[in-house]
Chain A
Amino acid sequence: MGELRAYVALAGAQARSAFSYRASFLIELVGNVGATVFDVLSVLVLFRATDRIGGFDLPEALLMTSITSSGFALADFAVGNVDRLKTYVRAGTLDAVLVRPLGALPQLLLMDLPMRKMLRVVFGVTVLAVALGLNDVDWTPARVLLVTLAPLSCAVFMGSIFVISASLAFWWVESGEIGSAFTYGGRDFASYPITVYGPAFRGLFAYALGFAFVAYQPALALLGRPDPLGLPAWAGFASPLVAIGAATVATIVWRIGIRQYRSTGS
């Protein structure tokens, strides 16, 4: 309980720090929405050329895109700054964090929470609401639950990928952009119906790595559409499980990584 309050206090401090530079905060806040707007725009532009992508029409595809972008925006807001881990390792911030009586990862995340990315989450959720309105969803209690769980699971899943790719910095301080291939690449992959990808690529990203469960399967379950690729209807509800699996892997990788740091001190 006391620990939770400590984390809340840390997040509050970060918010106050960001607001202490009021003008630049506002500019960054607005500037940052741009990125998420473009994700959605690129889908809209695609539908000017064709009216179906991979067998899905615009409102259906937009539902997948909006689950991905709201979840990704949330993950990027909460966990995205973990890719600055290499800076923390170099600057010794990690040492300062390790002498405090709290978990190292939550401290690093909360001490540097990027408040400027907040508006992206708001935008993503707005598009999700619009997409839900455009589709004719047959609302059942299970679907109401799913529509709240899907973006959260997506956020947990994407956040795990952020943590895993940032953990590379424990082994190679100059890990550079390898991680971005999976974070931003994964977001772009999940923004479209996975039926558009070739079988090999899809097999790897969608099923082996789990990106199908980020937006595609939950969207199908919300729409009540059978999966053209043959997975049963309950696959949409598997997304929280996939997210928990990813989070478990991320925790293990982080733990191994921090042990590596402590034994090399680099």
Chain B
Amino acid sequence: MIRFNQVYKRYPGGYEALKNVSFEIAEGEMIFLTGHSGAGKSTLLNLIAAIERPSTGSVVIKGQNVGSLKGGALPYLRRNLGLIFQDHKLLFDRSVFDNVMLPLQICGFDHRESDKRVRAALDKVGLLQREKANPIALSGGEQQRLCIARAIVNRPSILLADEPTGNLDMDYAADIMGIFKSFHQVGVTLLIASHDAGILRQFGARTLALKQGELQP
């Protein structure tokens, strides 16, 4: 499903965020990506979503070499991915409902179908009662769940989460991990990056550990 082949990512100035990273994730797997901040977790996720391109090596998703995709093909790759951002990237000029609606508008769903899907996604993360609220009025945990709802409303086959439990207390974090687990159970491929080893230990999933841009054995 996701394959990295000797991937390097160098930034102008010579800094190497990723060094010789190779791994493979099978369909339906749930993987944890760990490491200190600055170890290259976000860069790795960015390479999968083609937000950045590898300097050398190849990133292959569903048989497509993402690094060499033309700009016009990127949107269709990203529609297959659910992205959960560290900083949420919610839009505060519209309601909770409309935030989740955005991916469906982009894909051109018709009104009735998309309304249904938005409510289903909000229901799954427990925000159905807040659909008319502005995201700014939500707590940190709720904002994170809203971000998850937006990522899954499109029913992507791959879900990438960057520090989804970042600033949350244990209860909220466990809550969110529970949500991820339910996606895993319906066959979604998950890649969850977190520096918080404690929360990950509770789940017996395969772990990829990054240290200074290198994958630890």
A joins B in a complex: no
Chain A residues with CB under 8 Å of chain B are none
